[in-house]
């Protein structure tokens, strides 16, 4: 009979949390770009996407952005608190 190998799952919760936060930030950046008319399909913008997501991850109030996106189908400009407003402003 083969020995039972136990692997430590220590730290996997932290990895999942980081992945979830990255995914949420990617959704927020994508939503903000959609509502602001910023084309993420443009090759230059696509290259910036990861950096924009990383900036978004540092936001102290992503819930405000989530609510703003839920309440608006279009935005003339990103909100003042948006860490990517310089890139999303046309």
Dihedrals phi, psi of 56, to nearest 5 degrees: -60, -40
Q: Which two tokens stand for residue 60?
A: 């102290």
49-72 burial, b at 16+ Cβ within 10 Å, e below that, comes to eeebbebbbebeebeebeebbeee
Annotated domain spans of the chain: 14-88
Q: Which two tokens stand for residue 28?
A: 């927020």
pLDDT higher than threshold 70 for residue 7: no
Distance CA 15, CA 80 (A): 31
Q: Are 89 and 52 in contact (CB under 8 A)?
A: no
pLDDT, averaged across the chain:
84
Predicted TM-score of the model (pTM)? 0.75
Q: What is the pLDDT of residues 38-74, one digit of tens each?
A: 888 888 887 889 899 999 999 988 999 999 999 999 9
């Amino acid at each position: 009979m083969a020995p039972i190998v136990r692997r430590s799952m220590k730290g996997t919760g932290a990895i999942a949390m980081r992945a979830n936060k990255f995914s949420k930030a990617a959704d927020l950046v994508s939503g903000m770009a959609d509502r602001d008319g910023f084309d993420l399909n443009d090759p230059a913008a696509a290259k910036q996407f990861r950096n924009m997501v990383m900036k978004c991850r540092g936001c102290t109030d992503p819930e405000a952005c989530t609510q703003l996106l839920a309440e608006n189908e279009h935005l003339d400009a990103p909100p003042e608190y948006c860490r990517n407003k310089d890139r999303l402003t046309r």
